Chains A and B, each alone.
Chain A
Amino acid sequence: MATASETTLVRAHNESATKWWTRFLDPSERTLAVLLLLPTALLLSLIIVYPVCRLVWTSFQNLSLTSGAPATFAGIENYALMLEDPVFWETTWNTVLITLITVPGALLVGMALALMANLPFKRKWPVRLSLLIPWALPLAFAGLIFAWFFHSEYGVVNDVLRRLGFEGVIWFNSAKWAFAAICLTIIWKTSSFMALIILAGLQTIPRSLYEAAEVDGAGRLRQFFEITLPLLKPSIVVALIFRTITALQTFDIPFTMTRGGPGTSTATLAMYIHQNTVDFLDLGYGSALAVVMFALSMGVTAVYLRMIRAKG
């Protein structure tokens, strides 16, 4: 921190400068800040602000490549169309449901994995490595691998079920089972990311706290709820933000496992956006759908950020 007298000195110096370019040689803190942030701000506006504005603009247009006609302004037509589109509601509901199931699911499994990985193993690397593998696997690979696991005839899941004396399930022939298979896959795939963040949080908790608690006679469970959990809260919130946003954007796993089937019962909003833009080439409607998803993600992020601020 600059002291008060230093700041006055800098300002006096700046005011005494006669030529404008000397400001660059000896900038005030504010100018320096602006100069340093400028490249990032420009880059961000190029790769984020511009595409988002363009997306919102396209969403108010009638722009379909299959019509052969040039784009025309459509007002809120695309949004009005959306309200009475049953597939939009179905895919949005599926997305919300996937979020509500897989985010807490991944948190629980991830927490358990992190606590196990934090145990004092002699060799740490095999544990850490096995934590990393699901996270490092591309989503589409995970989807394809699990599609084979859950295949009704050749899949390992049904094989195990049959060996245990149950009847195999035709997973992708029923909305409920297909949905369950997708959620299980997403939880498997994403809990390692949760575990990694929570593990990092766990390692910042000083051992001395546990030692003190032990001296005071607190049991393992008590230690977990009184020390571990409260001190982990910031890491958990960060992990939840990331996980929830990616859950709202779920695409790869259902796309590779079921393509949204049977019917459209496991299609997500992201898949519907992809279908409208890439398959149907209806860029106007697809953009309107994407704006809705953008608003959803922003809303959820705002809620979490408020939670953090309230805690802080």
Chain B
Amino acid sequence: MTLNKTMKLLLAGVAVTLSTSAAMAQTNLRVFVSSQHRPDVWRKAFDMYEAKNPNVKVTIETGGNTSEAQAQYLNTVMTAKDSSLDVMILDVIRPAQYAAAGWTVPFNDVLGDANAAMKRYLPAYAEANTVDGKVVALPAFADAMFLYYRKDLLEKHGVQPPQTWDELAAAAKKVTAAEKDANLQGLSFQGKAIEGAVCTFLLPYWSMGKQLVSDGKLSFDKDAAVKSLKLWKDFVDQGVAKKNIAEVATDDTRKEFQAGNVLFAVNWSYAWGQFQGGESAVKDKVGVVKLPAVQGGQPASCLGGWEWGVSAYSNNKTEAQKLVQYLSSPETSEFMAINASLLPQFPDVYTDQDVTKAVPWFASARPVVETAKARPVTPRYNEVSDIIRTTVNAVLAGQSTPEEGATQMEGRLRRVLR
């Protein structure tokens, strides 16, 4: 073999190795999924993506059981400029904050006409994910709060699902008195100092037609705040809600209702899938309607939902954005609605035949989501949230009166939203 030939062979060998390694090049994407939103079902959605994109491998990371615990973790990762996470799911209140901190990559370049792309979603989600014209995240699923009730018990005692909170109290008293079951709670809601307690406070407050923030300025209505805090505290004092409601987080409400110990429960849409699951004691005994209103007010729900953001510190931003576009597509939305009862972020999916077959009440859920109110959008939202939820918690624990609570809340909110 001549030297020339050897060189040629060697070069050919190198070329072959290089080209095969390029074809084999795998992108590993690490995705943070909130543990309360069915990471097991998201896994199936990722599997379908992997099947179509063999060069991408998706790993799920999950943790924390509340929105704040997850935000705390993600805040730590992002302040450390850690590149280990590529995609993360964010509670609807956070994209604005993450964009302000420069932690997410905008989608404008990959969306083409960003405006048209965002118009496909429910308007509330197009708005929540757009900051100063930049699309900072894409909607993962929609959510709103609903009133779940025990269909079997209401029928047994001839009670209609309540339209107002007063009716709810009366119905709960009637049914629990007749059932004589010490473990049966009339109403379960979120009293622990978690994100859900912010909505707890806002539900009756909004129902009275009041806003917390108008035109970026605090528009706190103290009377309405006192009434709202008092409404919840009265439920505890009257025995409609249990005494230690100040210890109850969102998933506690879900678990206790699922175990058959709750008549009425305020919760998000995700609970439905688990109430109807194999481990549920209340399967097929559950009804769901829009939340009651205060006497003389309009019913109000809290806008929830989660969004997919791509980390600004990711080493695979292009692949990560492609994955998020798939996750935020009508097809994935339909899949998640059917398999995890997560509310669609697209208006049309609500009336899709397969969806209405799997989750019949979604058709009536759409108007609730469409009229649900968004919590104030501000980069300092975490402080606003902390003020509201610690006050709700303190009032429910009997630590301060509704009046004291409202005064403290106003004073502290004024410091943050100047």
A→B interface (CB under 8 Å): 65-68, 85-87, 151-153, 170, 172-175, 259-265, 275, 278-282
> How far does the alpha carbon of A261 sit from the alpha carbon of B192 in the complex, in Å?
8
A153 touches B101 (CB 8 A): no
A170 touches B382 (CB 8 A): no
CB distance from A197 to the nearest CB of B (A): 34
Q: Which of A65, A263, A282 contacts B393 (CB 8 A)?
A: A263
A279 touches B400 (CB 8 A): no
> How far does the alpha carbon of A67 sit from the alpha carbon of B96 in the complex, in Å?
11
B319 within 8 A of A: no
A278 touches B397 (CB 8 A): no
> How far does the alpha carbon of A172 sit from the alpha carbon of B398 in the complex, in Å?
11
Q: Which of A66, A174, A281 contacts B397 (CB 8 A)?
A: A174
* Contact residues in A for B68 (Cβ distance below 8 Å): 279
A66 touches B72 (CB 8 A): no
CB distance from B304 to the nearest CB of A (A): 20
B→A interface (CB under 8 Å): 68, 71-72, 75-76, 79, 97, 100-102, 192-193, 243-244, 246-247, 379-380, 382-383, 386, 390-391, 393-394, 396-400, 408, 411-412, 415
CB distance from B13 to the nearest CB of A (A): 49
Assess A173 versus B386: contact at CB under 8 Å? Given A262-B397, A263-B400: no
* Contact residues in A for B397 (Cβ distance below 8 Å): 172-175, 261-263
B399 touches A262 (CB 8 A): yes
A265 touches B247 (CB 8 A): no
* Contact residues in A for B408 (Cβ distance below 8 Å): 86
> How far does the alpha carbon of A86 sit from the alpha carbon of B404 in the complex, in Å?
14
* Contact residues in B for A67 (Cβ distance below 8 Å): 100, 379
Q: A66-B101, A279-B71 are in contact. List 16 more A-B contacts (CB 8 A).
A: A65-B79, A67-B379, A152-B243, A170-B244, A172-B247, A173-B244, A173-B246, A174-B398, A175-B399, A261-B390, A262-B396, A262-B399, A263-B394, A264-B390, A280-B380, A282-B383
* Contact residues in A for B79 (Cβ distance below 8 Å): 65, 278, 281
CB distance from B413 to the nearest CB of A (A): 13
* Contact residues in A for B379 (Cβ distance below 8 Å): 66-68
Assess A279 versus B382: contact at CB under 8 Å? Given A172-B247, A261-B193, A261-B393: yes
A68 touches B100 (CB 8 A): yes
* Contact residues in B for A172 (Cβ distance below 8 Å): 244, 246-247, 397
B243 touches A170 (CB 8 A): yes
* Contact residues in B for A260 (Cβ distance below 8 Å): 193, 390
A262 touches B246 (CB 8 A): yes
* Contact residues in B for A282 (Cβ distance below 8 Å): 383
* Contact residues in B for A66 (Cβ distance below 8 Å): 97, 100-101, 379-380, 382
Assess A263 versus B390: contact at CB under 8 Å? Given A66-B380, A173-B243: yes
Q: Which of B75, B398, B412 contacts A281 (CB 8 A)?
A: B75
Q: Of all chain B residues, which has the CB nearest A152?
A: B244
A152 touches B391 (CB 8 A): no
* Contact residues in A for B100 (Cβ distance below 8 Å): 65-68
Query: Could you name 15 residue pairs across A and B whose Cβ atoms are closer than 8 Å?
Result: A65-B79, A86-B411, A173-B397, A175-B399, A261-B393, A261-B397, A262-B193, A262-B394, A265-B394, A278-B72, A279-B68, A279-B75, A279-B386, A281-B75, A281-B382
CB distance from A67 to the nearest CB of B (A): 7
CB distance from A93 to the nearest CB of B (A): 15
> How far does the alpha carbon of A259 sit from the alpha carbon of B247 in the complex, in Å?
11
Q: Of all chain B residues, which has the CB nearest A275?
A: B386
> How far does the alpha carbon of A282 sit from the alpha carbon of B75 in the complex, in Å?
12
Q: Of all chain B residues, which has the CB nearest A264?
A: B390
A173 touches B398 (CB 8 A): yes
> How far does the alpha carbon of A65 sit from the alpha carbon of B81 in the complex, in Å?
13
* Contact residues in B for A259 (Cβ distance below 8 Å): 193
Assess A152 versus B101: contact at CB under 8 Å? Given A175-B399, A261-B393: no
CB distance from A215 to the nearest CB of B (A): 61
Q: Which of A66, A175, A263 counts the most B-chain CB atoms under 10 A from its CB? A: A263
Sorted from nearest, which 5 A-B pairs have the closest CB atoms? A263-B394, A262-B397, A66-B379, A68-B100, A65-B101
* Contact residues in B for A280 (Cβ distance below 8 Å): 380, 382-383, 386
> How far does the alpha carbon of A275 sit from the alpha carbon of B72 in the complex, in Å?
9
CB distance from B262 to the nearest CB of A (A): 14
B71 touches A263 (CB 8 A): no
* Contact residues in A for B76 (Cβ distance below 8 Å): 278
CB distance from B234 to the nearest CB of A (A): 16
> How far does the alpha carbon of A67 sit from the alpha carbon of B418 in the complex, in Å?
14
> How far does the alpha carbon of A112 sit from the alpha carbon of B250 in the complex, in Å?
44
* Contact residues in A for B390 (Cβ distance below 8 Å): 260-261, 263-264
> How far does the alpha carbon of A278 sit from the alpha carbon of B74 in the complex, in Å?
10
CB distance from A49 to the nearest CB of B (A): 22
Assess A263 versus B380: contact at CB under 8 Å? Given A279-B72, A279-B386: no
> How far does the alpha carbon of A1 sit from the alpha carbon of B259 in the complex, in Å?
78
* Contact residues in B for A262 (Cβ distance below 8 Å): 193, 246, 393-394, 396-397, 399
B101 touches A68 (CB 8 A): yes
> How far does the alpha carbon of A279 sit from the alpha carbon of B93 in the complex, in Å?
13
> How far does the alpha carbon of A204 sit from the alpha carbon of B75 in the complex, in Å?
50
> How far does the alpha carbon of A173 sit from the alpha carbon of B394 in the complex, in Å?
8
* Contact residues in A for B415 (Cβ distance below 8 Å): 85
A281 touches B394 (CB 8 A): no
* Contact residues in A for B380 (Cβ distance below 8 Å): 66, 280
* Contact residues in B for A170 (Cβ distance below 8 Å): 243-244, 247
* Contact residues in B for A68 (Cβ distance below 8 Å): 100-102, 379
